[in-house]
Amino acid sequence: MSQLKQAKSALISVFSKDGLEPIAKRLNELGVTIYSTGGTEKFIKDLGIEVIPVEDITSYPSILGGRVKTLHPKVFGGILNRQENESDVKELEEYEIPQIDIVIVDLYPFEKTVASGASEQDIIEKIDIGGISLIRAAAKNFKDVLCVSSVADYKEFENLLEEKGGETNLTDRKKFAAKAFNISSHYDTAIFNYFNTKEEIDVYKESIQNGKTLRYGENPHQKGQFFGDFEMMFDKLHGKELSYNNLLDVDAAVNLINEFKGEAPTFAILKHNNACGIAQRNSIYQAYLDALAGDPVSAFGGILISNVEIDKATAEEIHKLFCEVVIAPSFSTEAEEILKAKKNRILLIQKETELPQKQVRTCLNGVLVQDKDHKTDAAEDLKQATNNKPTDAELSDLLFASKICKHTKSNTIVLAKNKQLCASGTGQTSRVDALKQSIEKAHSFEFDLKGAVMASDAFFPFPDCVEIAGNAGISAVIQPGGSIKDQLSIDYCNENEIAMVITGTRHFKH
């Protein structure tokens, strides 16, 4: 049953007047009686449209500095009455309550006020009471009332007025009700999270308004969606739509390259969320070539990212490689033209954006939430564990390797030399296996590991890893320490003139 309703009255009370003019004019043309309050009432009157102040219904003025305007039985009775209920209709007549068919509300901008760094008093004043109550009431009674709860929905509502001349069916009203409850729940979540900043209440609430359906999820038989403001982080210059797996790789690439923000030109190539090549050089051109040399096989179909502008010479080299995505703070005009020659290649300009401080993932029948690992090992954090002290070059390589290790799937071992990733063992069930994998891979690409350094994401419970590494030519090691058998590895390093530093910070990544 369509349950058609012809709108005869509307209550309009909004914070932002953007986009309201054509709606008010169309309602007026349709002969709809308009009720309003405060600034909205003045705005509509200034358009030359007749409007009835809510005070004329309630016989009560706006009080407490505007905190109480619409909170009155004559307003909410007009919204919440059930028009098929004889008792409700009689009470409307008895108490002279006008029927309200449309409610248009735009809430106080609470989130924007918080983001602006406003005082607590200003933030509290932007907690909407009347507006949120009107939205909930109108949405609850969608059988009889249509609720427009956001400026973002004005155009759709305007089109509805044009198409149906003020008439709506149950499907229309229920759709707008769903939108309204989305607005109200998002609003309340933002307020709760503001009050729960210190996380004294063990409750997890998150609400993201921007969503996009992807072609599929991790595999073609899985549905996938992305919730977030991608355009806030990137300007997309070229290429196909990003897939679920592309987005995961882009996330990994951004997290890794952010470790090198403001440093010398650094280029990284990632595959399945792990770096297969990364190098830091005096030019981005050389950094790319040396990153590619780390594993030219895995680089095929990879995600490429730079911490500085990509120039023409670098773009010409990149163009020889099949890659899914190229990310940089900027591209020279010539570089952009070269890289756009492949129609599906995705080019992204990374913008300065504050990223979430929490990491969330599903687990069992709930979610796990943790702080992001923002700890980057620095020289001042290091404790010299061995008699041998790392040389300046080794120390530089150790910190370089540690940054990569932090962003590689556990268990992991990273081997580096001269600010270049030689190889890494990723996602192994045994740290020994991760080390053996990295050594074998480095040798397969003809890296000389004599004088290279090793980074481990967690401690060594036995001296087997430092022994294997030493035999391969590794001269310095960085690891978090913390094993009750740390001394066994330290003793081996001392006996074989290998330098070891301990960070005190583990970097598991599961």
Nearest to 340 by CA among 246, 428, 250, 239: 239
d(CA 347, CA 326): 5
SS3 of residue 359 by DSSP: strand
Catalytic residue, chosen from 25, 45, 140, 164, is 140
* Secondary structure class of 489 (helix, strand, coil): helix
Alpha carbon separation from 315 to 328, 341, 420 (Å, rounded): 11, 11, 20
287 in Cβ contact with 267 (< 8 Å): yes
The answer to whether 320 is a known catalytic residue is no
CB 106 within 8 A of CB 157: no
Residue 52: CB atoms within 10 A of its CB come to 15
Given the residues 8, 272, 312, 375, select the one marked as catalytic. Answer: 272
- Yes or no: say if 145 and 222 are a contact pair by the CB < 8 Å rule: no
Locate tokens 């999270």: which residue? 193
- Helices within 236-311 (DSSP H only): 244-257, 284-294
**CA–CA distance from 337 to each of 237, 333, 340, 341, 346 (Å)?**
10, 6, 5, 7, 13
Cα 97 to Cα 73: distance, rounded to the nearest angstrom: 8
d(CA 203, CA 189): 11
CA distance 3 to 187: 30
140 as an active site residue: the answer is yes
Torsion sign across C-alpha atoms 171, 173, 177, 179: positive
Dist CA 319 CA 333 (whole Å): 15
CB 467 within 8 A of CB 489: no
Q: Quote the strand ranges of 294-339, DSSP E.
A: 302-306, 323-328
**Residues annotated catalytic, as ranges:** 140, 272
